[in-house]
Amino acid sequence: MLKLSKLNLGQKFTLMLLGVFLAGILMSGIALSKLLNYTAQAELTSKALMLMETMNSVRQYTVDEVRPELSERSEANFLPETVPSYSAHTVFSTLQSNSDYKDFFYKEAVLNPTVPKDKADQFEASLVSQFKQPNSRPDLEGFRDSPDGKLYYIARPIQIKQEACLTCHSTVERAPKSMVALYGDQGGFGWELNEIVGTQIISVPAARVFQKANRSLWITLGVFSGVFAIAILLVNLWLKRYVVRPINRMAATAEAVSTGDTQAEFVKWSDDEVGKLTDSFNRMRLSLQMAMQRLERHRRKRKGSSGAGS
């Protein structure tokens, strides 16, 4: 077991600084990890919301511009390009070719979809239920489990706000015959104006949320450790030069004085506490020198008196 009493001053000071460093690393690491995770999550949320707005713009453009232009052609052969959901998914697939968005996933999960692949699962259905609650938040975010691992998601409600949407989704009779022929009459009908029928979800693997944060954390801790290591080195060099060496010199001088060399002088190197200690040792040396001289005179005087008496 390491005994502090056997360590020199520099080693004790290094151990103290090392303890402070480890405690600081632990506390700052925990706080910094939480902060970086929050920052990374906020950054991904911002990017996901931007993608969500982009998809909504694509949907609106499809309703306002694409559908009217292709409506006549769709009467004979239904064109999926006139469907906002189809357009949004197509554009998002193109975005995924960009490395910045390749890990993002987009889905329009609907309780009663036209296409079975858009059917909301149990978790997505629970989000729709939350959106239907009074005073519900405009968007929801968090983590969910999936077959491919944990995902971070952000979701917004799909609400029927335009009468044009009901052309295809109110009743089978009102829907374009070409659409019914293509997708069937079993799903995607019975929707009503202002009804929340599903949710838009953009998700990304949770590992991506923490990967960037962890990378930033290790870089920051590495820089912090490097700076602290340099600080320990500089402090030790300073301690050795201005504290340890003067004390060692005083110890050597004190050793000489203790063996009778009262002429040995304690050299003062500074005006700080070590310098004051040097002055004290010099006064002690002078006092000892004067005491030794008085003792020597007294001894000689007694010796002289003894010689005269005989």
Percent of the chain with pLDDT over 70: 94
pLDDT value at 73 more than 60: yes
Q: How far apart are CA 276 and CA 156, in angstroms?
A: 73
DSSP letter assigned to residue 186: S
Mean pLDDT, residues 159-171 taken together: 86
pLDDT of residue 1: 47
Strand pairing partners for 119? 110
pLDDT-derived band at 310 (thresholds 50, 70, 90) equals low
> Regarding predicted confidence, which is higher, 2 or 284?
284
What is the mean pLDDT of the segment spanning 66-86? 83
Residue 163 has pLDDT above 80, yes or no: yes
* Encoded tokens for 266: 């304690």
Question: What was the pLDDT predicted at 4?
Answer: 62
Question: CA 280, CA 22: separation in Å to the nearest integer?
Answer: 38
The string over 146-168, giving b where at least 16 C-beta atoms fall within 10 Å of a residue's C-beta and e elsewhere, is eeeeebbbbbbbbbbeeeebbeb
pTM of the model: 0.62
246 pLDDT band (50/70/90 cuts)?
confident
Element (H, E) at 95: helix 84-95
Q: Are 236 and 10 in contact (CB under 8 A)?
A: yes
The whole-number pLDDT of residue 306 equals 64
Mean pLDDT across 263-291: 77
